């Protein structure tokens, strides 16, 4: 899928030698959104950024007027079609020029989305719950999963990788269960694996921080990007480990494109400044398709540009492809969302909101005494459970070996335990 977004610099506003990005604009060590408020306008230049800065009616009217003027000078149809056809080429050119030097690593993601620590929490909980016995179980289970993941990653084409991953999920279960039963272990929810997909991975500015931060050896991260150049850069990175991640070229707007895992197999999908890079007419189908790969209860983490963000208002006239959809000078594109249209899009895909916030941030350049009004939208969503409209909160299989010490009998029990929450829809 398409690489992550960045802000336009073709403007009448402040210039810099290089374009600022949605990543660069946010400090890697920042506090979570909603913790710093500007109560006295006189103090605006005391910090680099202020949270939840609401616009007055005049400011909102000016922004709408700028967007309307953009729409009055649309790019001709033939040129719009060219940008759509050549989208991959424009992103390949971008990464061919900038390689991995344009975007910063997104360490701030772990502040905004604590769920990205879930692999560590599961591993620590399992280790703490079964001291003595679980250590040996862990070693053997890890050996099995690691070996099979390595086999999958060694496949030379997408079809083979997909078949291998599917077979692994089926074939590993008896092998793991047999070993656990022999040792008297219990198999808890997702202890065997936690599978994550990053859409629009670019050159790995989210992928590698996720791998470094999560110490769960059973975490498997799939990552895809529309640009083959970007994927080549990811695979050449010294931290790229085929036992823990699998990078592949993919266009999520192509309904016939192959993907190396089955539907209903992912625990989490990450989309950071990605959806805005595709044609608005193709967004719903792309989101529907991604949702189909989530497990019931699986999570989607989303962050992207909001309507009237500084990046939108800084576009010059003659860069508008359609309403709120623009092309940058290098041929890459960007759309600016509202909460309502995203709510409908995700809802139609069977996803239920866990968090939905609009991040209106006032960033300042204290040296030049400049104010920059940013608008981002952030979502956390979960996949509904079937037609009942239930969202899964817990799903574990309890494989227990009970013994009668007096009669020297072994009894292998299997129970399934789930917790669900009714969707608000």
Nearest to 362 by CA among 66, 63, 44, 56: 44
| Domains of the chain in sequence order | 41-391 (3.40.50.150)
Q: What is the pLDDT of residues 54-83, one digit of tens each?
A: 778 888 899 999 999 999 999 999 999 999
Statement: residue 97 has pLDDT above 80: no
Q: Give mean pLDDT, residues 30-57.
A: 69
Which residue bears the tokens 């990450």?
270
- Residue 415 buriedness (CB in 10 A; 0-12 / 13-18 / 19+): exposed
Backbone angles phi and psi of 393, in degrees to 5? -110, -30
Predicted pLDDT at 34:
54
Q: What is the pLDDT of residues 120-150, one digit of tens each?
A: 545 444 554 444 433 333 433 444 444 445 4
Q: Give mean pLDDT, residues 237-241.
A: 93
The H or E element spanning position 411 is strand 409-422
Q: What is the pLDDT of residues 399-415, one digit of tens each?
A: 888 889 999 888 888 88
**327 pLDDT band (50/70/90 cuts)?**
very high
328-331: which pairs have CB atoms within 8 A and are 24 or more residues apart? 328/8, 328/10, 329/8, 329/10, 330/90, 330/93, 330/94, 331/83, 331/86, 331/89, 331/90, 331/93
What the block records as the tokens of 133 is: 């016995």
- Residue 328 buriedness (CB in 10 A; 0-12 / 13-18 / 19+): buried
Predicted pLDDT at 210:
93
CB neighbours of residue 421 within 10 Å = 14
Q: What is the pLDDT of residues 190-225, one digit of tens each?
A: 344 899 999 999 988 999 999 999 888 889 999 999
Predicted pLDDT at 389:
57
Predicted pLDDT at 32:
57
């Amino acid at each position: 899928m398409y690489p992550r977004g960045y802000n336009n610099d073709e403007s009448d506003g402040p210039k810099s030698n290089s374009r600022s990005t949605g990543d660069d604009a946010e400090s890697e060590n920042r506090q979570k959104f909603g913790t710093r408020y500007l109560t006295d306008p006189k103090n605006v230049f005391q910090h680099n950024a202020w949270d939840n800065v609401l616009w007055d009616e005049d400011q909102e009217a000016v922004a709408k007027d700028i967007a309307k003027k953009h729409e009055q000078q649309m790019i001709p149809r033939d040129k719009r079609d060219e940008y759509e056809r050549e989208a991959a080429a424009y992103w390949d050119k971008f990464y061919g020029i900038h390689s991995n030097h344009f975007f910063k690593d997104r360490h701030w993601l772990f502040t905004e989305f604590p769920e990205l620590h879930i692999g560590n929490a599961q591993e620590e909980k399992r280790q703490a719950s079964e001291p003595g016995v679980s250590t040996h179980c862990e070693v053997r289970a890890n050996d099995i999963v690691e070996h099979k993941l390595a086999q999958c990653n060694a496949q030379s084409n997408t079809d083979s990788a997909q078949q291998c991953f599917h077979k692994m999920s089926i074939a590993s279960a008896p092998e793991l269960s047999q070993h656990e039963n022999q040792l008297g272990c219990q198999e808890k929810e997702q202890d065997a694996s936690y599978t994550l997909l990053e859409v629009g991975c670019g050159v790995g500015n989210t992928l590698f921080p996720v791998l470094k931060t999560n110490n769960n050896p059973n975490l498997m991260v799939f990552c895809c990007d529309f640009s083959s150049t970007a994927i080549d850069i990811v695979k050449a990175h010294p931290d790229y480990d085929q036992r823990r991640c699998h990078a592949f070229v993919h266009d999520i707007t192509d309904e016939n494109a192959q993907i190396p895992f089955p539907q209903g197999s992912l625990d989490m999908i990450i989309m950071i400044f990605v959806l805005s890079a595709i044609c608005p007419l193709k967004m719903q189908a792309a989101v529907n398709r991604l949702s189909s790969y989530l497990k019931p209860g699986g999570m989607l983490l989303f962050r992207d540009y909001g309507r009237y963000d500084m990046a939108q208002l800084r576009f010059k006239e003659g860069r508008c492809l359609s309403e709120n959809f623009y092309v940058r000078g290098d041929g890459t594109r960007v759309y600016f969302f509202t909460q309502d249209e995203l709510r409908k899009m995700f809802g139609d895909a069977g996803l239920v909101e866990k968090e939905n916030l609009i991040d209106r941030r006032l960033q300042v350049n204290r040296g030049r005494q400049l104010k920059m009004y940013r608008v981002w939208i952030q979502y956390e969503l979960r996949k509904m459970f079937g037609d009942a409209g239930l969202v899964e909160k817990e799903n574990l299989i309890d494989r227990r070996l009970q013994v009668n010490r007096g009669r020297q009998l072994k009894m292998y029990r299997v129970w399934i335990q789930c917790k669900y929450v009714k969707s608000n829809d």
